[in-house]
Amino acid sequence: MTRVPLEKKVLSENDRIARRLRERFRAHGVLCLNLISSPGAGKTSLLERTLEGFAPEERVAVLTGDIQTDNDARRLARYGFPVRQITTGGTCHLEAAMIERALEGWGSEAVDLLFIENVGNLVCPASYDLGEAAKIVLLSVTEGDDKPLKYPAIFFRSALLVLNKVDLLPYVPFDVAAVRQNARRINPAIEILEVSCTTGEGLEGWRRWLALQREAVRKQAELGATLA
């Protein structure tokens, strides 16, 4: 009897903090991206390939969430950019309050691109706004091409679908045309990129997408400063 009101209260408080984070990111021209996938789809691998392509002076940082261990944070820290681990201790998703705490003492003015690597899960993270500019859902070809129909909420709320591990397509029964059709049945506006973090295929398209989003956020921040 009390579950629904309690859930609404939790989400309401989360949304309040997320709005505060979003205002903070917009004011400082920070592009914040929330990466969501099933475990093993390749979020950390994509971030590794992304970070290795940035010059050392780039203003990039990562928050990475896991139920246990800091393995992903240690992998990503090798590239020389600020990385912080958020260990949820059993919670299957990140929440806005966790992001706000993780950013304490980490000035937004020192970063203009913030990646949030969410806990591996296609269900719970879809419901939690973290103040991001966009959710990005990753799907590997080792999963089913019907995933958008099974987990519609995350595909509906994501701006971009990254189809990963396309180098394995010759070896797995995965229909790319079907997954594209299924994703756009749920979200006609979703953008779709095909990549392989192993071979590098498609990563230039991913980098171009990031550059376009960063430029849009920069212009928005400049306009806001002009109007202030």
Q: Angle of helix 203-227 relative to helix 3-27, nearest 10 degrees? A: 80
Per-residue pLDDT of 112-165, as tens digits, reads: 999 999 999 999 999 999 999 999 999 999 999 999 999 999 999 999 999 999
51 within 8 A of 76, measured Cβ to Cβ: yes
**Position 84 in a domain:** yes
CATH number where 66 lies: 3.40.50.300
pLDDT-derived band of residue 3, with 50, 70 and 90 as boundaries? low
Residue 138 lies in a domain: yes
| The pLDDT of residue 101 is above 90 | yes
Name 63's bridge partners.
84, 116
Domain count, the chain: 1
Instruction: Tell me if 228 is assigned to some domain.
Output: no
SS3 57: coil
Q: What is the pLDDT of residue 1?
A: 46
The pTM of the full predicted model, rounded to 2 decimals, is: 0.92
Mean pLDDT (the chain) is: 93
Residue 227 lies in a domain: no
Give the residue with greater pLDDT, 199 vs 8.
Answer: 199
Q: Within a domain: residue 187?
A: yes
Going by pLDDT thresholds of 50, 70 and 90, the confidence category of residue 8 is low
Q: Considering the domain boundaries, does residue 69 fall inside one? A: yes
Q: Give the pLDDT of residue 185.
A: 98
For residue 139, being part of any structural domain is answered with: yes
Q: Cα separation of 195 and 25, whole Å?
A: 28
Domain limits for position 77: 3-221
Cα–Cα distance between 89 and 103 in angstroms, integer? 19
Is 30 within a domain? yes
